[in-house]
Amino acid sequence: MAQDSRSKNTVCISSEAATTERYLDPPVLENFSNHATTSDLAACYERDLTGRDRVGATIRHSQAVFQVPNQHGQENAG
């Protein structure tokens, strides 16, 4: 996360990512495909209007992508 404040303005940005090769509860015992990724990106802006009032906005995008392990018939078919 990075954040910068100047005068009455604050800007921040953050990101995260992860990957795994382990499917925790597979529908079949054999794991022919077993890959997952997650990602998150966020940005925010805040401005102090007065000593007691502040306005801000945050934009965020998150996703999780995973492959479910194939069954024997699916794996043999390609």
Query: What would the pLDDT profile of 14-66 be if each residue is shown by its tens digit?
Result: 999 999 887 666 666 666 667 889 999 999 999 999 989 999 999 999 999 98
Q: Any idea what DSSP says for residue 7?
A: T
For 75, other C-beta atoms within 10 Å of its C-beta total 13
- Is the pLDDT at 74 greater than 90, yes or no? no
- Sign of the Cα torsion 23, 27, 33, 37 reads negative
Indicate the SS3 state at residue 31: coil
pTM: 0.67
